Amino acid sequence: MTGTDMHGLVRRLYPLCRSITGDGVRRTLEIISEYVPLDTYEVPTGTEVFDWTVPREWNIRDAFIADATGRRVVDFQESNLHVVSYSAPVSATMTLDELRPHLHTLPEQPSLVPYRTSYYQENWGFCLAQETLDAMADGEYEVRIDSTLDEGALTYAEHVVPGQVSEEVIVSCHTCHPSLANDNLAGIAVAVALAQSLDNPWYTYRFLFMPGTIGAITWLARNADRVGKVKHGLVLACAGDSGHLTYKKSRRGNAEIDRVLAYVLRDREHEIVEFSPYGYDERQFCSPGFNLGVGSLSRTPYARYPEYHTSGDNPEFVLPEKLADTLSVCQQAFSVLDRDRRFVNLSPYGEPQLGKRGLYDSLGGRSDAKQAQLAMLWVLNLSDGEHSLLDIAERSGIPFDTVAGAASALHDAQLIKE
C-alpha cells in the first residue's frame, strides 16, 4: 500500500462510530478484512479478564439536541464525536441550565468538538464546539440519545503472518475511537500495510486490532498460556501527523526492539522516550506480570498536538507521505529484527583466507566492495556467540544490510554457524 492507499483507508473508516464494543467495531474489522484476512473473536459481557470484566455492549443509532423550532443544534449524524461514548439512552425536554452539566466543550479551542467517554460509569452527555454553546439561547431543548447498553460482547481480531519460526512479533493498534483519524485510524492503516508487505518472515507476526486497555487486557488473559512465544512487539498510534517519529521504549528499556528502533531511527529526526505506565497498550504488554519487549511507535505522541481528541483530528490532519514514512520505518525495523542473529566463527585462529573461498571475487564490481570486505572481517572477528549482527553494525558503523550480507556469504562458505 502506498501512502495514498493508506490515507484512503483512513478516510473510509473515519465516519464509523467506534467504541470499546459494538457494531462500529465490527464494521471496522469487516472493512479491514477486505485488505488482510482476520480471525475475529467475541468475548461475552461479564467475562472476567484478570482484574477487569468485559462491559455491556454499547450501540447508538441517533442523538441530538433540538431547539424549540425543532432545529438540531447538536447532531450525531453530523459527527459521532457529538455524543459522549457509552452514553446511556435519554429522551427528555430540559432547559439549557439543566442541560449544561451534560455538555462538554473546549473553551480554549472554541471551534473544535472534544472527544469524551464514560465507559465504566453510566452517564450521558454531548460534546460540542464552545461557539455552538455560546449561540444557544436560554429556553427548553429536546434531548435525545437513542442508544443501548445490553449484554453483548467485546470484539477483537487478529491477522497472522506465518514465519519460519513459531516465536512471535506482535503489532497492536486500537479500534475503539470514533472519528479520530490520527489517534486510531492512522495506526490501523500502517498496520494493514505492514501486514501486506511481509513475505516469508523469520518470525511469526501477529497483528492485533482491538479496543484500547480492555482489549489488550482481554487478549492477554485469553492468551496467557502462550504469551511466552512473544519475543518482540510494537504498538502503533498517532502514525500519520506531520511531526517527527517518536519511539517509546519497553519497560525493560534494553529489549531488542528498543535497540532496533534506536538503530533504524538514528539518521533521521526523531525522539526516543523512556517507558512510563501511561499511554497506549504497551503498558498492558509491559505490565510486571508479563514484562514483554513491546515498545510504541508514533509521530507526535498522544496529547502533544492541539488536535488530539478533538474534531481537528480529521483526515486532512493525516498526511499520506507521513503514513508512508511510518510504514517505511516499521519495515526497516522488522527487517533488522528478522535477520539479527548470533554466529560462531568456525575458523577463529587467525584470519581465515577469504580469497581461496572466492569471497573476494564475489565482491568484484560492487561499488561498496571495500565496505563489504571490511564487514566480513568484522563479522568474523565478533562472531563469538556473544555479539549479534546488530552489535556488529553498531560497533563497526557499517550498515546492517551490509553486515547481514557479509554474514550470509560467510555462512555459505562454512566459516561461521548460528
Whether residue 218 is found in the same domain as residue 362: no
Whether residue 238 is found in the same domain as residue 284: yes
Q: How far apart are CA 322 and CA 268, in angstroms?
A: 13
Residue 361's pLDDT band (cuts 50, 70, 90): low
Residue 54 has pLDDT above 80, yes or no: yes
Return the pLDDT at 358.
Answer: 83
The tally of domains found in the chain comes to: 3
Pick the more confident residue, 373 or 364: 373
Span 262-282, mean pLDDT? 96
Whether residue 406 is found in the same domain as residue 355: yes
Residue 364 has pLDDT above 60, yes or no: no
- Rounded to 10 degrees, the C-alpha dihedral 213/215/221/222 comes to -170
Whether residue 139 is found in the same domain as residue 78: yes
What's this model's pTM, rounded to 2 decimal places?
A: 0.95
Residue 177 marked in a binding site: yes
Instruction: List beta partners, residue 41.
Output: 156
Average pLDDT score over the chain: 96
Residue 104 marked in a binding site: no
Residue 359's pLDDT band (cuts 50, 70, 90): confident
* Residues of the chain above pLDDT 70, percent: 98
Place of cell 544490510: 401
Q: How far apart are CA 404 and CA 261, in angstroms?
A: 17
C-alpha cell at 29: 474489522
Q: How far apart are CA 26 and CA 307, in angstroms?
A: 26
Span 389-417, mean pLDDT? 96
Q: Which of 150, 181, 215 is the last residue of a domain?
A: 150
Whether residue 138 is found in the same domain as residue 109: yes
Helices (H) then strands (E): counts for the chain: 12, 19
* Residues of the chain above pLDDT 90, percent: 95
Q: How far apart are CA 64 and CA 73, in angstroms?
A: 7
Q: Which of 130, 150, 170 is the last residue of a domain?
A: 150
Whether residue 192 is found in the same domain as residue 329: yes
Residue 357's pLDDT band (cuts 50, 70, 90): confident
pLDDT per residue over 273-325, tens digit each? 999 999 999 999 999 999 999 999 999 999 999 999 999 999 999 999 999 99
pLDDT per residue over 77-122, tens digit each? 999 999 999 999 999 999 999 999 999 999 999 999 999 999 999 9
Span 225-233, mean pLDDT? 96
Q: What is the CATH number of the domain that holds 98?
A: 3.50.30.90
Residue 365 has pLDDT above 60, yes or no: no
Whether residue 234 is found in the same domain as residue 345: no
How far, CA to CA in Å, does 418 sit from each of 301, 384, 388, 402? 39, 10, 10, 18
Whether residue 163 is found in the same domain as residue 186: yes
* Structural domain containing residue 70: 58-150
Whether residue 197 is found in the same domain as residue 50: yes
Q: What is the CATH number of the domain that holds 29?
A: 3.40.630.10
Return the pLDDT at 367.
Answer: 61
Q: Which of 315, 337, 359 is the last residue of a domain?
A: 337
Whether residue 136 is found in the same domain as residue 29: no
Span 62-77, mean pLDDT? 97
Whether residue 411 is found in the same domain as residue 290: no
How far, CA to CA in Å, does 109 sit from each of 112, 128, 416? 6, 11, 62
Residue 183 marked in a binding site: yes
Place of cell 454531548: 126
Can you spell out the DSSP letters for 82-134?
Answer: GB-BTPPPEEEEEEHHHHGGGEE--TTSTTPPB--B-SSS----EE--HHHHH
Q: What is the CATH number of the domain that holds 407?
A: 1.10.10.10
Whether residue 190 is found in the same domain as residue 295: yes
